[in-house]
Amino acid sequence: MKNNMELEIFSQKEVLERIFENYTKDNTPYFKGLCLNFEEIKFIASGSSYNAARLGHKFFENYTTKRVSFEYASEFISNENKKIKNDTLYCFISQSGETYDTKYAQKIVKNEGGKTLALVNNSNSTIYNEADYKIDVLAGVENSIAATKSFLACVICLWLLAITFSKDFDKENMGEFKNEALVAIEDVLNGNNALDMPAKLLSEKNKLSIIGYHYGYILAKELALKIKETSYIDTTAYPTGEFLHGHTAILNSNKTLIEIYTESFSKFEENTLKKIKNDFNPEIIEITDKEVNSKNAIRFKKYKTELAKICAITVILQLLALKCALKLGLDVDKPKGLKKVVSN
């Protein structure tokens, strides 16, 4: 391994184990000092942290009855009519803990008397130190500019956070979720050479479109960001169904499409994919656990839990972005014009 991004991708199994060791007690999520008496959770973040927040939103929808919302930090700041509510916990997610717009948004909430939670990978940071409640995602120092292990660490912590607020989750299943997620990460890392050919194909493109549904759409957004950050390829993500509403026209000139889906996808989603294929016949790279007859398919094993599927897809997309950039001869650790901490 010659670069930090690769080292950090391959360290994610240890990161997950560290999170479960520190934030579970008697097979139950435990975040010391966290108040659960909130009716709404609002996630505020930017970049990869925003994509993690979107996954957190899904977790809270699935496991709790809390009202839950999410917003880009910059959009939160620009909303002049926002009302800070006493029954809302404002969760600020930032790998560095110093992201400028996220830090600015937190200051607004604090000044208005709102309660704040910091979910960061730096316990010696402004966002962490100024929050009412604090969670260090424990990914360790991340030297590569593109967030990899810190992104997955945020996702795992958000999953545990949703379980903490849940009244219905069976804690007896906690071990199964953890163990299968660990297996999923290891499986993908062990089979990473299978990504070489798809990565080469992507490296030869000027533009890319990625589609996915449910969790897959959010992970499509993360893959698009990773490819842009490391390979400078114009890449856009869409929800699978929404892609039909005019966006498919780009396939007239740009014939490459990445699809993220699992075997559990609905008949609606299946019919949508068939229509795209029949109407435009694009060159497709499928990231899926489903049996498919395609030389470009990136298949991962079948897992029972959504958490394991998310972990598998996340590591696949990180490796795909890494390998694509390396095929182009680019410095994945220090992309041009980007810095780890976004601040003024």
Domain boundaries, the chain: 4-169, 189-327
Residue 93, strand partner residues: 45, 119
Nearest Cα to 184, choosing from 142, 164, 155, 221? 155
Q: So what's the pLDDT on residue 1?
A: 63
Q: So what's the pLDDT on residue 342?
A: 55
Which residues in the chain come in under a pLDDT of 70?
Answer: 1, 340-344
Q: So what's the pLDDT on residue 82?
A: 86
Nearest Cα to 219, choosing from 155, 302, 291? 155
pTM: 0.94
Q: So what's the pLDDT on residue 56?
A: 97
Nearest Cα to 262, choosing from 242, 292, 234? 292
Q: Do domains 4-169 and 189-327 have the same CATH topology?
A: yes
Instruction: Tell me the CATH number for domain 189-327.
Output: 3.40.50.10490
- 236: three-class secondary structure by DSSP: strand
Q: So what's the pLDDT on residue 344?
A: 46
Nearest Cα to 285, choosing from 200, 218, 342? 200
How far apart are alpha carbons 218 and 199 in whole angstroms?
A: 20
CATH fold of 4-169: Rossmann fold (3.40.50)
DSSP letter for 24, please.
E
How far apart are alpha carbons 145 and 38 in whole angstroms?
A: 35
Q: Are 201 and 285 in contact (CB under 8 A)?
A: yes
How far apart are alpha carbons 61 and 316 in whole angstroms?
A: 25
